[in-house]
């Protein structure tokens, strides 16, 4: 088993890029896009903690709106999705 370093680094880079592009799109169009990121791979976190922290940094920078890690998908996604689908007045 590998530590998945290059895959995780690629995921961080792609998430940063997509988040930046979404925020730029929002600025130009005035349309809000919610960026939800699902993160799994618990076995990798013992050796890839720096990448996990980089995802948290992206969230704090506003490039990810929701960061769901591991089983949080099972406990939080339904409520987040329901709140996003509620009609806005």
pTM: 0.84
pLDDT at 36: 97
3-state secondary structure of 34: coil
- pLDDT value, residue 5: 66
User: Using an 8 Å Cβ cutoff, are 58 and 19 in contact?
Assistant: yes
Work out the angle at residue 41's Cα, subtended by the Cα atoms of residues 52 and 6, and round it to the nearest 5 degrees: 65
The whole-number pLDDT of residue 76 equals 95
Pairs from 45-49 (Cβ < 8 Å, separation ≥ 24): 47/3, 48/3, 48/4, 48/5, 48/8
Residue 9's pLDDT is 86
Query: For the chain, which ranges sit under pLDDT 70?
Result: 1-5, 44, 89
What is the DSSP secondary-structure string of 49-65?
HHHHHHHHHHHHTTS-S
């Amino acid at each position: 088993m590998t530590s998945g370093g290059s895959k995780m680094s690629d995921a961080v880079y792609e998430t940063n890029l997509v988040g930046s592009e979404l925020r730029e799109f929002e600025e130009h169009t005035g349309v809000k896009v919610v960026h939800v990121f699902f993160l799994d791979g618990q076995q990798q976190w013992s050796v890839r903690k720096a990448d996990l922290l980089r995802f948290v940094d992206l969230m704090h920078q506003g490039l990810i709106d929701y960061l769901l890690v591991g089983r949080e998908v099972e406990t939080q996604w339904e409520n987040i999705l329901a709140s996003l689908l509620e009609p806005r007045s």
